[in-house]
Amino acid sequence: MDRKARFAGRHALVWAIALGMLFPFIVMIGTALKPPTEVFSLPPRLLPEQWEFGNFEAALSAMPFWRYLGNTLLVSGLCVVGSLVSCPLVAYSLAKLHWPGRGLMLALVLGSMMLPPQVTLVPLYLLWNKLGLVGTYFPLIVPSFFGIPFFIFMLRQFLVGIPDELLDAARLDGASEFRVYWRIVLPLARPALATVAVFQFVWTWTDFLNPLIYLSDSSQYTLSVGLYAFFSEHGVDWGPLMAASVMFTLPALIIFLLGQRYFVEGIATKGLK
Amino acid sequence: MPRRSTTSRRQLRLGLAFASPWLVGFVVLILGPIVASGYYSFTDFNLFQPPTFVGVDNYRTMVGDERFTKALFNTLYLTVFGVPLALALSLGFALALNSRVRGLPLYRAIVYLPTIIPIVVSVYVWRWLLNAQYGYFNRILGLLHLPQPNWLEDPTFTKPAIILIGLWMVGGTTVIYLAALKDVPSETYEAALVDGAGPWQRFRAVTWPAISPVTLFQLIVGLITSLQLFTQPYLLAQTRLNAAAGGPDDSLLTYGMYVYQNAFVFLKMGYASALAWVLFLVTLAVTAVLMLTSRRWVHYG
Amino acid sequence: MRRVSFRRATAAAVAGVLATALGACGGSDGGDDDKVEVVFSYLWAGAEAEALEEIIADFNASQDEIEVRGVSNPDFQKQLTSMSGAQGSFDISDHFGNGVGAWASKGILAPLDDFIEADGLDTDDFVPAAMSQMMYEGQTYSMPIALHAQMLMYNKKLYAEAGIDGPPETTEEWAEQIAKLTKRDADGTITQLGYANAEINTSFTTLGFMFGGAWDDQSGRPTPADPGNVAGLEFYTENIPGTYGVAEVRDFTSGFGEYASAQNPFYVDKVATIIDGEWQSVFIDQYAPNLDWGVAPLPYPAAQPELAGTTQVTTSTLFIPRNAKHPEEAWEFMKYLLSEDAMVRFTLALGNLPARISLLDDPRYDTLPQFSTWLDALRSPNAQSLASTPWSAEYTSDLGQAFDDIAQQRTSPAEGLADVADKASSYAP
């Protein structure tokens, strides 16, 4: 009896936690499907009596959702490319090459992870301004091509685990360092690279501050700023706002469900010891 | 001898070559701007006219600036209360999930889900949940016979609202703790059981020391994130047509928001740079203090 | 072999996408080779934006040299940062009259005097109170396209239910009516409010004017602590939060629906009287055609009948940023919008008051329900406006904070406004 009670108790606790986490989602979807009269009804009901998709229509006509989706896909995709190109290169130099200054650089990478963005905010804006690139996607995409400290560190931890013998064998065979990197190390690092890709995609997808500052033409907006502008304009139009939110969330959700293990394993095991 | 020096020079060249993207980026996107930010902090600069040098005026203004004090207070409030609470809750969740529960991957995924939702969406959904008239959160509080504050318009409750949203998003830390808990060697637990230790003593003697490195890291990350918090309070305080909103009685004005406002709304880029530098120094100081005092409670290995 | 082609393919793909991205953002400079593209970034949105787009389409169809592209950007924080680049992202935009001085003093706006002289634009036909806001240090930096006036709007159905004959003439009558029009439950929860602010900043500054106050003096220096201003705000604090409870009022107002929708609290019988602008004529027609409403001049204190007919006039203005790519073409479009026919079309569609004196009697405005009350308000000698000064942004921000504190009764009107006066002494000489 005691065991059964504890079993039930454990599961009840876990269900309660899961319910708490899911509740806002249920509300979001429920509100999105309600007609306006039900949205503002008292006492509030969780699920709509009448399901209707009018809110989705309203949201789609009030904001150029597909264009914003396209913009966000473009920016997120390019950032993933940037990270995948640069971060493994830099991580390799920290993990598998022995050179003076390596320790210092590792410390700098770790230190940059802790930098508050506000410190560089103004000068970076001025820099991009001088280059005439404010109002373009460049300020959002170019930094990823220079490497993101978090991913560099994560990849470095992973690469350290690759046995040196594999690399030495190839080097002895006369392969250039880049060839060793390209043909041996990268393929072995595929799971870590997949994690980087998945994380970078979601980070850029959900990023708000950078598009807010650098994008001025509303036709360029990403979904974050688009939703924010929708709120600025329509304020407490809860039904369509929730509908737009649902549409904005879906792609990130799909990526998450498909690449779940990359997320969970990625942050749990790679490089946080 | 000559052979070793050519090898080490070759190694240096290779190392620099592979590291070059980040090294260039570091100088251009991080080091340069930090130095430039320091320079601008001594100027008066409104973006449309060239900067004029004003010495330490910006820093002097800061001392007498009421909004600066308020922004600092708000940020420290959120940090001092929000970070430990979030950490404790995520540890609690991890412990709950670590017990033998069926379908753990599903629960783990559900707990992690809020962290991948776009922040803009999360905040707007919570604005709806916390609405004083129609919000479900207050309905639930009412059913439990608890007081139902006006979360978004009562200055006393706006920061707790931010902390609440933060607690909803502890999934990332929970998953990290879960992995760390699984790493605790079971022999140590069994030894403690043999010694007759109860669950709380087991936690104190075995679990807590074992996960203390993770705790330290999460604490530092949490502190840094909290000190620069911008998006959630900015969106929670957002009003229609967007004036420089700091929430009721500026209760939601965090330091990060104040820097943004000074830079992009009031166009006082010099003052904004000075504010940013102060934040930088405070962050460094806090991190240093944490790392130094960590020796007392963190166990490695 | 495989390695080389893969690398080349990736490089080509990345370059291609980058080029597209670059092209996507430089796109606004393109368009037809023959036509010059002028970007008109405006704060209007929704139905108002649609009306504006029709006028833009007409302009484009009427001539061959200029193609105007309208973009709705309701966020005015972003508007400001867009003008900071070396090459602007728009050529012409709109703003509020009392902000002109601040932007002109920072060198953000292009002066228009040369254009006005060259084309002989008749600036005498524009309402003087509006034109004065367009000037800074003797130069014209903006032109008014539409004016707005504040009036007292009331819900006739709720008035009938409360047994009140008609709108108040004096503020004392208004206070009595508010008491009759506010309904509460047994536990103090408000279910209907006699008066609520449509928009706190405009409503409070208007209340100040109504009680004989002024927010700036002749030279533009801020005078927030003027006794008339204090009296105006005390009217609000005594009659609303002071009588019904700050928390209760806050709870009630936090459930208000969206302003520009059928859920506007005034349309759904939640609020009996509001102070609002003439665009409501069009809005109500669109969102709440069955609402039984009325509009009347703002009440005056019984002891000061000389204040009758007070109203606050605000201006929507057009300007060309200093960094516009095509300022001459932008001016051509501005001239078009300022011409009589276009101005009538624009203001009719948005339900705004025209900026030209000659249009104030135009019969075309008869189509808008109850519009004449607002039109007449512009003629009153007591039509007031806020000054346009270099420190308007700080002053407005400080006032906004003080208004919030006062409405939530964290400070009294006298103290709160004295505080603003203190702060103003640091930026206004």
pLDDT per residue over C263-304, tens digit each? Answer: 899 999 999 999 999 999 989 988 899 999 999 999 999 999
For the cut 50, the answer to whether the pLDDT of residue B252 exceeds it is yes
Residues in C closer than 8 angstroms to A130, CB to CB, are 86
Per-residue pLDDT, averaged over C12-27, amounts to: 48
Phi-psi region of C243 (alpha: psi -120 to 50; beta: other; left: phi over 0): alpha
β-bridge pairing C135-136 and C353-354: unpaired
Per-residue confidence (pLDDT) for residue A113, from 0 to 100: 84
Q: How confident is the model at residue C13 (pLDDT cuts 50, 70, 90)?
A: low
- B145 residue type, one letter: H
Token code pair at residue B282:
């405070």
Kindly report the pTM of this predicted structure. Answer: 0.83
- Give the residue from chain B lying closest to C322, CA to CA: B48
- Give the residue from chain C lying closest to A228, CA to CA: C75
Q: What residue has token string 């469900």?
A: A257
Segment C263-268 long-range contacts (CB within 8 Å, at least 24 positions apart): C263/A36, C263/A40, C264/C288, C265/C196, C266/C153, C266/C155, C266/C198, C266/C293, C267/C291
Share of chain B above pLDDT 70, in %: 96
> Nearest Cβ partner of A268 from B17, B178, B275?
B178
β-bridge pairing C139-140 and C383-384: unpaired
Neighbours of chain A (3+ CB pairs under 8 A): B, C
- DSSP-assigned states of every residue in B56-118: THHHHHHHH-HHHHHHHHHHHHHHHHHHHHHHHHHHHHHHHHHSS-TTHHHHHHHHHGGGGS-
- Give the residue from chain B lying closest to A262, CA to CA: B109
β-bridge pairing C135-136 and C293-296: unpaired
Mutation test of the interface with chain B: which of C200, C248, C251, C323, choosing the one with the most B Cβ atoms within 10 A?
Answer: C251
A90-104, C15-29, C302-316: segment of lowest average pLDDT: C15-29
Around Cβ C223, how many Cβ atoms within 10 Å?
18
**Which residues, other chains included, contact B135 with Cβ-Cβ below 8 Å and sequence gap of 6+?**
A44, B128, B129, B151
Buried b (16+ CB within 10 A) or exposed e, A175-208: bebeebbbebbbeebeebbebbbbbbbbbbbbbb
Most confident of A149-153, B262-266, B267-271, C175-179: C175-179
Task: Give the residue among B105, B171, B161 at the shortest CA–CA distance from A17.
Answer: B171
> Measured between CA atoms, how close is B139 to chain C, in angstroms?
14
Residue A4 half-sphere exposure, CB side, CA atoms within 13 Å? 1
CA angle in degrees (0–180, nearest 5) for A272-A92-B33: 75
Asked whether B114 and B168 are in contact (CB, 8 A), the reply is yes
> Between A231 and C140, where is the model more confident?
C140
Asked whether B276 and B264 are in contact (CB, 8 A), the reply is no
Residues in A closer than 8 angstroms to C256, CB to CB, are 236
Residues in B closer than 8 angstroms to C80, CB to CB, are 264-265, 267
Q: How do residues A134-178 score in pLDDT, each as one tens digit?
A: 888 999 999 999 999 989 988 988 888 888 888 888 888 888 888
Residues in A closer than 8 angstroms to C21, CB to CB, are 74, 78, 136-138, 141
Q: What residue has token string 């130094």?
A: B292
**What ipTM goes with this model?**
0.84
Neighbours of chain C (3+ CB pairs under 8 A): A, B
- DSSP-assigned states of every residue in A77-145: HHHHHHHHHHHHHHHHHHHT---TTHHHHHHHHHHHHT--HHHHHHHHHHHHHHTT-TTSSHHHHHHHH
Q: Chain-wide mean pLDDT for chain B?
A: 86
Token code pair at residue A247:
């549409």
> Nearest Cβ partner of A209 from B33, B178, B231?
B231
For the cut 70, the answer to whether the pLDDT of residue C14 exceeds it is no
Share of chain A above pLDDT 90, in %: 22
Per-residue pLDDT, averaged over A195-220, amounts to: 87
Mutation test of the interface with chain B: which of A121, A145, A152, choosing the one with the most B Cβ atoms within 10 A?
Answer: A121
Q: What residue has token string 């203005």?
A: C317
For the cut 80, the answer to whether the pLDDT of residue C9 exceeds it is no
CB-based contact, B273 to chain A, within 8 Å: yes
CB-based contact, B30 to chain A, within 8 Å: yes
Q: How confident is the model at residue B12 (pLDDT cuts 50, 70, 90)?
A: confident
> Nearest Cβ partner of B264 from C77, C247, C259?
C77
C136 forms beta bridges with C139
Residues in B closer than 8 angstroms to A112, CB to CB, are 26, 30
Asked whether B214 and A272 are in contact (CB, 8 A), the reply is yes
- C370 residue type, one letter: Q
Around Cβ C315, how many Cβ atoms within 10 Å?
31
Per-residue confidence (pLDDT) for residue C164, from 0 to 100: 93
For the cut 50, the answer to whether the pLDDT of residue B1 exceeds it is no
Q: How do residues B167-203 score in pLDDT, each as one tens digit?
A: 999 988 898 888 888 877 777 777 777 777 777 777 8
Residues in A closer than 8 angstroms to C259, CB to CB, are 235
Q: Could you tell me the end-to-end alpha-carbon distance of chain C, in angstroms, rounded to an integer? A: 75
Token code pair at residue A123:
């000068």
Q: Chain-wide mean pLDDT for chain A?
A: 85
Burial class of residue C191 (count of CB atoms within 10 Å of its CB; 0-12, 13-18, 19+): exposed
- Report CA-CA distances (Å) from B102 to B106, B107, B110, B211: 9, 9, 14, 24
Q: Which of residues 109-148 of B touch A (CB under 8 A)?
A: 109-114, 116-122, 124-126, 128-129, 133-136, 139
Per-residue confidence (pLDDT) for residue C18, from 0 to 100: 53
Residue B64 half-sphere exposure, CB side, CA atoms within 13 Å? 6
Burial class of residue B301 (count of CB atoms within 10 Å of its CB; 0-12, 13-18, 19+): exposed
- DSSP-assigned states of every residue in B221-282: HHHHHHHT--HHHHHHH--TT--S---GGGTT--HHHHHHHHHHTS--HHHHHHHHHHHHHH
Residues in A closer than 8 angstroms to C262, CB to CB, are 36
Taking CB atoms and an 8 Å limit, are C404 and B244 in contact across chains? no
Per-residue confidence (pLDDT) for residue B274, from 0 to 100: 93
Per-residue confidence (pLDDT) for residue A240, from 0 to 100: 86
Element (H, E) at B44: strand B43-44
Residues in C closer than 8 angstroms to B242, CB to CB, are 74-77
For the cut 50, the answer to whether the pLDDT of residue C24 exceeds it is no
- Give the residue from chain B lying closest to C256, CA to CA: B133
| DSSP type of residue B149 | -
Mutation test of the interface with chain C: which of A233, A237, A238, A241, choosing the one with the most C Cβ atoms within 10 A?
Answer: A233
Share of chain B above pLDDT 90, in %: 33
> Nearest Cβ partner of B150 from C83, C108, C250?
C250
Q: How confident is the model at residue A273 (pLDDT cuts 50, 70, 90)?
A: very low
Query: How many A×B Cβ pairs under 8 Å?
Result: 263
Taking CB atoms and an 8 Å limit, are C107 and B49 in contact across chains? yes
C319 forms beta bridges with C93
Token code pair at residue C172:
């004392």
> Nearest Cβ partner of C257 from A129, A213, A236?
A236
Asked whether C64 and C48 are in contact (CB, 8 A), the reply is no
| DSSP type of residue A252 | H
- Report CA-CA distances (Å) from B154 to B158, B237, C187, C245: 6, 12, 20, 13
Taking CB atoms and an 8 Å limit, are A135 and C26 in contact across chains? no
Q: Is A35 helix (H, G, I), strand (E, B) or coil?
A: coil
Neighbours of chain B (3+ CB pairs under 8 A): A, C
Per-residue pLDDT, averaged over A19-35, amounts to: 88
Taking CB atoms and an 8 Å limit, are B175 and A248 in contact across chains? no
Q: Chain-wide mean pLDDT for chain C?
A: 86
Q: How do residues B90-103 score in pLDDT, each as one tens digit?
A: 999 998 888 777 78
Taking CB atoms and an 8 Å limit, are B15 and A268 in contact across chains? no
Q: Alpha carbon C356 to chain centroid distance?
A: 18
Q: Is C22 helix (H, G, I), strand (E, B) or coil?
A: helix
Asked whether C401 and C224 are in contact (CB, 8 A), the reply is no
Per-residue confidence (pLDDT) for residue A188, from 0 to 100: 87
Q: Which of residues 62-121 of A touch C (CB under 8 A)?
A: 62, 74, 77-78, 81, 85
Buried b (16+ CB within 10 A) or exposed e, C157-185: ebbeebebeebbebbeebbebbeebbeee
Q: Alpha carbon A266 to chain centroid distance?
A: 13
Task: Give the residue among A216, A164, A208 at the shortest CA–CA distance from A185.
Answer: A164
**Which residues, other chains included, contact B151 with Cβ-Cβ below 8 Å and sequence gap of 6+?**
B130, B132, B135, B137, B138, B157, B158, B160, B161, B164
Share of chain C above pLDDT 70, in %: 91
**Which residues, other chains included, contact A263 with Cβ-Cβ below 8 Å and sequence gap of 6+?**
A195, A198, A199, A256, B112, B116
- Report CA-CA distances (Å) from B282 to B33, B225, B228: 18, 13, 11
Token code pair at residue A31:
């509100």
CB-based contact, B300 to chain A, within 8 Å: no
Q: Alpha carbon B67 to chain centroid distance?
A: 21
For the cut 90, the answer to whether the pLDDT of residue B77 exceeds it is yes
> Measured between CA atoms, how close is A62 to chain C, in angstroms?
8
CB-based contact, B214 to chain A, within 8 Å: yes
CB-based contact, B152 to chain C, within 8 Å: yes
| DSSP type of residue A188 | H
> Between C4 and A41, where is the model more confident?
A41
Most confident of A220-234, B70-84, B184-198, C63-77: B70-84
For the cut 70, the answer to whether the pLDDT of residue B230 exceeds it is yes
- DSSP-assigned states of every residue in C294-349: EEEPPPB-TT-GGGTT-EEEEEEEEE-BTT-S-HHHHHHHHHHHHSHHHHHHHHHH
Q: Is C188 helix (H, G, I), strand (E, B) or coil?
A: coil
Q: What is the rounded CA–CA span in Å between residue A58 and residue A230? A: 11
Per-residue confidence (pLDDT) for residue C33, from 0 to 100: 58
Taking CB atoms and an 8 Å limit, are C259 and B133 in contact across chains? no
CA dihedral over C124, C129, C133, C139, signed as positive or negative: positive
Task: Give the residue among B224, A52, B245, A188 at the shortest CA–CA distance from C76.
Answer: B245
Q: What is the rounded CA–CA span in Å between residue C284 and residue C371? A: 12
Per-residue confidence (pLDDT) for residue C209, from 0 to 100: 95
Per-residue confidence (pLDDT) for residue B65, from 0 to 100: 87
User: Cis (ω within 30 of 0) for the bond into A43?
Assistant: yes
Query: How many B×C Cβ pairs under 8 Å?
Result: 61
- Report CA-CA distances (Å) from B31 to A169, B23, B294: 39, 10, 28
Q: How do residues B20-55 score in pLDDT, each as one tens digit?
A: 999 999 999 999 999 999 999 999 888 778 888 988
Token code pair at residue B202:
């087991």
